[in-house]
Amino acid sequence: MPIRAVLDTNVLVSGLVAEEGAPGRILDAWLQGRFILVTSLYLVEELTHVLSYPRIADRLRLDDEELAAVLAALLSRAEVTRGHLHLPGVTRDPKDDAVVACAKEGQADYVVFGDQDLLVLDVYEGMRVVTPRQFAELLSMEWLGAGDVLCPLPPCGGGEGGI
């Protein structure tokens, strides 16, 4: 069964800006079909907004056509949830509620965050909350055929944790 994961907007942006780091390896793995990226229209809109920040746009140097191609690839290759689930107050930062709601609605195994505020959770309703480095390592093990036997971060089954 393929791994299902939601990537926080900052992880996606970091992967686009710096291909050599863990976020870049995660994006490569997704494009190679090594996991299912779960997202929502809200998160795609947030990504569009963040990519328009001058400091990000200057580093990416994408013209409008290239930016449209990136967003089209995201919408066509990722599994986009309907966005019907709302979990207000589930996180300490209301902006992160949408990420967790997307993960729950999309039945994700992992939520990949660089935000220390959410990483303290470890597990939320069976989903592991991990760093980009941890997720990249997990994908490397899966790619090498280690599977769940050696994987240090298996999806958790059914435990409920509060954020």
- Tokens found for residue 65: 């056509």
pLDDT tens digits for 75-107? 999 999 998 988 877 777 888 889 999 999 999
Give the Cα separation of 88 and 24 in Å (integer): 30
Q: How far is CA 149 from the centre of its chain?
A: 23
pLDDT tens digits for 120-162? 556 778 899 999 999 999 999 875 554 443 344 444 443 333 3
pLDDT tens digits for 48-76? 999 999 999 999 988 889 999 999 999 99
Check residue 153 and give its pLDDT: 45
Check residue 49 and give its pLDDT: 95
Check residue 126 and give its pLDDT: 85
Give the Cα separation of 143 and 145 in Å (integer): 5
Check residue 147 and give its pLDDT: 45
User: What domains appear along the chain, each with residue ranges and CATH number?
Assistant: 4-150 (3.40.50.1010)
- Tokens found for residue 93: 């930062």
Check residue 121 and give its pLDDT: 59
Q: Each residue of 115-127: b (16+ CB within 10 Å) or e?
A: beebeebebbbbb
Question: Whose CA is closest to 29, among 2, 52, 50, 55?
Answer: 2
Question: Looking at residues 8-24, what average pLDDT do you find?
Answer: 93
Quote the percentage of the chain above a pLDDT of 90.
60
Give the Cα separation of 161 and 56 in Å (integer): 34
DSSP H or E run through 130: strand 127-130
